[in-house]
Chains A and B, each alone.
Chain A
Amino acid sequence: MATQQTRVAGRLLVAPSVILLFLWMIVPLAMTLYFSTLRYSLLDSDNVSFVFLQNYGYFLSDPNFFSALVNTLVLVGSVLVISVVGGILVALLMDQPIFGQSFVRLMVIAPFFVMPTVSALVWKNLLMNPVSGLFAWIAHSLGLPAIDWFTNWPMLSVILIVSWQWLPFASLILLTALQSFDEEQKEAATLDGAGAIPFFFYLVLPHIARAITVVILIETIFLLSVFAEILVTTAGGPGVATTNIAFLVYKQALLNFDVGGASAGGIVAVVLANIVAIFLMRIVGKNLES
């Protein structure tokens, strides 16, 4: 039984973390909210005026915002589909009694540890370059014309790079979930003569459904703010073809020096992320109770 003394000590020990995180979250967020109501340019910082919701009006009616929103959703959605469907397939394959499973696992998980700037530049140059890249050589060998990835398919290129980074994450987590699947249940189903496809949809899929949800939610939170991959490959271009909300806010703040507008965009990003977060928190919270 915890004594009065340890209970007091317990609270004191949690306090530093709570205070630090509170300051880290609330102070900047409050400042962003405040800035978002100002006309405030870094180039003219003596001339700051209160404009209430005007920045939101500008930001939300800006066609660039709409295209950034669409780009964000396309990027998040495509990477989710590729990494989750691909991840299920890879995990199912790796869950078989294959030779050298742990070595295959090492190869599959590796891209997750590669920093975003490296994966983006390696893909853009070594693989996707339309003249000397490896993909161009493969296309030529097959008698096909080489694809100029970043000129003709900029968003697809970014999607491929980001998917490569997240497929390992989905595979690893889904494999972990699969491995907790009861061996006896598997054998029973096999003895009952269940075909592979019904077996997957009626037994395997429900078993890993929760892990899939967790993967989707966690990936969404990270994918909503993909930044470095865009910065070093396309810088949001050509035009605004690969500008997502995170990149748009960065551009508005640090390249156009528009503090007010960028803050309004930041708040929009926070609202978007929160919608996803609420669902994730509910799942994690349930787990905490059990």
Chain B
Amino acid sequence: MALKQSMGKRVGMSAAAWLIGFLIFFPILWTFLTSFKSELDAFAIPPKFLFFHWTAENYAEVQSRSNYLLFAYNSIVLSVGANIVGLIIAVPAAWSMAFVPTKRTKDVLMWMLSTKMMPGVGVLVPIYLLFRDFHLLDNRLGIGFVLLMMNLPILIWMLYTYFKEIPVDILEAARMDGASLMNEIVYVLTPMAIPGIASTMLLAVILSWNEAFWTLNLTTSNAAPLTAFIASYSAPEGLFWAKLSAASTLAIAPILILGWFSQKQLVRGLTFGAVK
């Protein structure tokens, strides 16, 4: 009897959870479906949910209309490139703070975190003017540098919490055997830390991909990533829903899939280790 009741409860709870999940996910699903409609079907009232003439022509037109590939290329180069450079700087720093901490290590970590608290508008004016004077506006190096600095504190923090979990004895054993510092980091620490480094990189790429304050303000066309590309669809004239949906699907699909793989690390990275 009790078992039966709890089974019924479980089914009810599941149904509720599936409904809530579906409602939260719905706008993304709707965008995906609309991207395969003709413009006429996209505006149709009552809306056509599944039974419409499926077409892929929007995807072809998005490319021919606005050179989607250039923006996608920029998104990839910027989010991957900036964070590879970031890792090169952050791995040694995190190594040092995790394994040779000094009295001030904690303060340094907290200070690094505090740089994340600075709102972009607080430094928009000088950054914009400096970039203008150094010809870094709409330049991949320029926006890449900004993305690097945005993520550096998060990279160091996440790596630090992962490195902290590696037993220090192993590193000391390598040192006893005469491994140089360089060898210790490259051959001993890195292989053990690969999972941590990979998930750190994953989260950092997601954050850079979706960064939409600096990319919108500092890039226009040559170095503009997908955030800016989608923003160009906001003009009321020439707003085509099916094409907007196709462009949006292309812009979010890769990162959505990456994100689904890295949910666990997301909690850790975004709360700076405060919730595990």
Point out residues on A near B: beta carbons under 8 Å: 1-3, 5-7, 9-11, 13-14, 16-18, 20-21, 24-25, 27-29, 31-32, 35, 90, 93-94, 96-101, 103-119, 121-123, 125-127, 131-132, 134, 136-137, 140-141, 164, 167-169, 172-173, 176-177, 180, 210-211, 214, 218, 221, 224-225, 227-228, 231-233, 245-246, 249-250, 253-254, 259, 262-263, 265-267, 269-270, 272-274, 276-277, 280-281, 283-285, 287-289
| Known interface pairs A21-B153, A269-B119; A107-B21 also in contact (CB < 8 Å) | yes
- Main secondary structure, interface of A, reads helix
Interface Cβ pair total, 8 Å cutoff: 320
- Min C-beta distance of A105 to chain B, whole Å: 7
Q: How many residues of B contact A (CB 8 A)?
A: 99
Measured between beta carbons, the chain B residues less than 8 angstroms from A106 are: 260
A93 touches B16 (CB 8 A): yes
Given contacts A3-B175, A94-B17, A177-B275, 6 further A-B contacts (CB under 8 A): A6-B181, A98-B18, A115-B230, A176-B276, A228-B227, A246-B121
The A-contacting residues of B in range 1-45, CB under 8 angstroms, are: 10-11, 13-14, 16-18, 20-22, 24-25, 27-28, 30-31, 34, 43-45
Q: How far is the CA of A42 from the CA of B150 in the complex (A)?
A: 27
| Known interface pairs A17-B89, A117-B230, A122-B27; A246-B274 also in contact (CB < 8 Å) | no
- Min C-beta distance of B135 to chain A, whole Å: 17
Which of A94, A214, A284 neighbours the largest number of chain B CB atoms within 10 Å of its CB? A284
A137 touches B45 (CB 8 A): yes
Measured between beta carbons, the chain A residues less than 8 angstroms from B97 are: 10, 14
Q: Does B96 contact A (CB under 8 A)?
A: yes
The stretch of B52-60, B61-69, B124-132, B193-201 in contact with A is B124-132
A269 touches B122 (CB 8 A): yes
User: Could you list 17 examples of A-B contacts with CB < 8 Å?
Assistant: A7-B100, A10-B96, A13-B93, A29-B123, A31-B130, A107-B22, A114-B28, A117-B234, A131-B45, A132-B45, A177-B275, A225-B120, A246-B121, A266-B125, A267-B122, A273-B117, A285-B110
Measured between beta carbons, the chain A residues less than 8 angstroms from B111 are: 21
Q: Does B46 contact A (CB under 8 A)?
A: yes
Q: How far is the CA of A44 from the CA of B185 in the complex (A)?
A: 54
Among B117, B122, B259, point to the contact of A109 (Cβ < 8 A): B259
| Known interface pairs A24-B115, A225-B119; A111-B45 also in contact (CB < 8 Å) | no
Q: Does B77 contact A (CB under 8 A)?
A: no
Measured between beta carbons, the chain A residues less than 8 angstroms from B227 are: 115-117, 228
Q: How far is the CA of A228 from the CA of B251 in the complex (A)?
A: 15
Among A107, A214, A232, A281, point to the contact of B231 (Cβ < 8 A): A232
The A-contacting residues of B in range 111-162, CB under 8 angstroms, are: 111-130, 149, 152-153, 156
Q: Does B244 contact A (CB under 8 A)?
A: yes
- Min C-beta distance of B7 to chain A, whole Å: 10
B13 touches A96 (CB 8 A): yes
Q: Does B271 contact A (CB under 8 A)?
A: yes
- Min C-beta distance of B71 to chain A, whole Å: 12
Closest B residue by C-beta to A266: B122
Among B89, B109, B256, B276, point to the contact of A20 (Cβ < 8 A): B89
- Min C-beta distance of B252 to chain A, whole Å: 5
